[in-house]
């Protein structure tokens, strides 16, 4: 549904992304991980069409609908606005469509609540519901679990998985939660200005590029992966002849 070919982004003379190629297929959950400043948000902006690449091509399936969940939303706490009213902005929406999207995001009980009174986890569900109004083929989330505790993060990812099953959409997200990424993704892309490695989570976790980028945290995530999916981890460790495709990282700093 989406192909990136050798994408490069240069801003103010600084190379932010270089030679990024990837493909996304319907129904898969793909997570982009990488250190701060490694170009994750920039890549998402290229994918949703908010930023033009300096080099390369973005090929989208015809009439591809993309739903976008931003990192956060600044809300003026003095502004009285219910969730339902917020969902109907900036375009008018049918009440039924709003109710359906809220239910799909697990936020059906929040429609009459004031936006400014929501917890972080509740607000993320509402932002997810707003993205679902588009009936997306591709759902893009930029650190949508930022500020959520582990429990709320795990619940949010379960909700994403339910959405994927209901809508049959692909999901592309950025996350720093390595433990959850390992469990929730079909494929992980490790980005540091360019793609260092990508593949099934357990294989990426076993790669040297991943371990050099994330150190101890990476080993912990790997342990989590082994604990929860022993069969996969066996494969990750026991299959040195087929390491994930790796590339040298450059310092995107
Ligand atoms: N408009 C711009 N002009 C110049 N440099 C920019 C611009 N926007 C972003 N950058 C730089 O590009 C690099 C990548 O930024 P980006 O926000 O994509 O990283 P990120 O991986 O999403 O980071 P984080 O994990 O901290 O959210 C950073 O060094 C940032 O300072």
pLDDT for 226 equals 45
Is residue 4 helix, strand or coil?
strand
Ligand 1 centroid from CA 179, angstroms: 24
Ligand 1 centroid from CA 102, angstroms: 32
Query: Residue 63: pLDDT above 50?
Result: yes
- Which residue's alpha carbon is at the smallest distance from atom 29 of ligand 1? 37
- Which residue's alpha carbon is at the smallest distance from atom 26 of ligand 1? 36
On whether the CB atoms of residues 134 and 65 are closer than 8 A, the answer is: yes
Share of the chain above pLDDT 70, in %: 84
Which of 133, 60, 53 has the alpha carbon at shortest distance from 100?
A: 133
pLDDT for 212 equals 79
Characterize the bridge pairing of strands 29-33 and 170-174: parallel
97 domain residue, yes or no = no
Radius of gyration of the chain (CA): 19
Is residue 207 helix, strand or coil?
coil
Tell me what the mean pLDDT of segment 78-102 comes to: 89
213 domain residue, yes or no = yes
Pick the atom of ligand 1 nearest to 42's CA.
18
Buried b (16+ CB within 10 A) or exposed e, 30-42: bbbbbbeebbbbb
- Which residue's alpha carbon is at the smallest distance from atom 1 of ligand 1? 11
207 domain residue, yes or no = yes
**pLDDT tens, residue by residue, 196-236:** 989 998 888 888 877 777 776 666 655 554 444 433 333 33
Cα–Cα separations (whole angstroms), residue 100 to 80, 83, 91, 132: 23, 14, 16, 9
Lining ligand 1 with CB less than 6 A are 11-12, 14, 16, 34, 36-42
Domain that holds residue 218: 1-65+158-227
- Which residue's alpha carbon is at the smallest distance from atom 5 of ligand 1? 11
CATH code, domain carrying 25: 3.40.50.300
- Our count of domains for the chain comes to 1
Ligand 1 centroid from CA 85, angstroms: 33
Pick the atom of ligand 1 nearest to 39's CA.
18
On whether the CB atoms of residues 48 and 92 are closer than 8 A, the answer is: no
Ligand 1 centroid from CA 87, angstroms: 29
Q: Which one has a higher pLDDT value, 239 or 38? A: 38
Ligand 1 centroid from CA 38, angstroms: 7
pLDDT for 157 equals 84
29 domain residue, yes or no = yes
pLDDT for 5 equals 97
Confidence category of residue 58, pLDDT binned at 50, 70, 90? very high
On whether the CB atoms of residues 180 and 157 are closer than 8 A, the answer is: yes
Kindly give, in sequence order, each residue whose CB lies less than 8 Å from that of residue 223, ignoring residues fewer than 6 positions away. Answer: none
- ipTM above 0.85? yes
Pick the atom of ligand 1 nearest to 38's CA.
21
Alpha carbons 173 and 127: distance in angstroms, whole number: 14
167 domain residue, yes or no = yes
Tell me what the mean pLDDT of segment 187-201 comes to: 92
How is the beta sheet containing 55-60 ordered, strand by strand?
A: 14-24, 2-11, 55-60
86 domain residue, yes or no = no
Query: Residue 194: pLDDT above 80?
Result: yes
38 domain residue, yes or no = yes
Ligand 1 centroid from CA 225, angstroms: 30
Task: Identify the bridge partners of residue 173 per DSSP, sorted by sequence position.
Answer: 31, 141
- Which residue's alpha carbon is at the smallest distance from atom 7 of ligand 1? 11
């Amino acid at each position: 549904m989406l192909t990136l070919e050798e994408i490069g982004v240069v801003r103010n003379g600084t190379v932010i992304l270089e030679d990024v190629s990837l493909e996304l297929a319907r129904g898969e959950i793909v997570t982009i991980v990488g250190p701060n400043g490694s170009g994750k948000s920039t890549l998402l902006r290229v994918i949703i069409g908010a930023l033009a690449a300096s080099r390369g091509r973005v090929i989208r399936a015809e009439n591809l609908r993309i739903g976008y969940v931003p990192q956060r939303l600044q809300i003026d706490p003095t502004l009285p606005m219910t969730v339902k009213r917020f969902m109907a902005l900036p375009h008018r929406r049918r009440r039924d469509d709003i109710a359906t999207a809220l239910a799909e995001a697990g936020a059906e009980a929040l429609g009459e609540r004031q936006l400014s009174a929501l917890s972080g986890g509740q607000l993320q569900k509402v932002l997810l519901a707003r993205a679902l109004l588009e009936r997306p083929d591709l759902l893009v989330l930029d650190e949508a679990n930022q500020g959520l505790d582990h429990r709320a993060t795990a619940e949010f990812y379960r909700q994403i998985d339910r959405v994927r099953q209901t809508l049959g959409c692909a999901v592309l997200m950025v996350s720093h939660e390595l433990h959850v990424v390992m469990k929730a993704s079909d494929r992980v892309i490790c980005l540091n200005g360019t793609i260092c490695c990508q593949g099934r989570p357990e294989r990426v976790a076993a790669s040297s590029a991943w371990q050099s980028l994330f150190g101890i945290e990476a080993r912990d995530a790997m342990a989590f992966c082994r604990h929860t999916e022993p069969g996969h981890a066996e494969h990750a460790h026991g299959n040195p002849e087929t390491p994930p495709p790796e590339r040298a990282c450059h310092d995107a700093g």
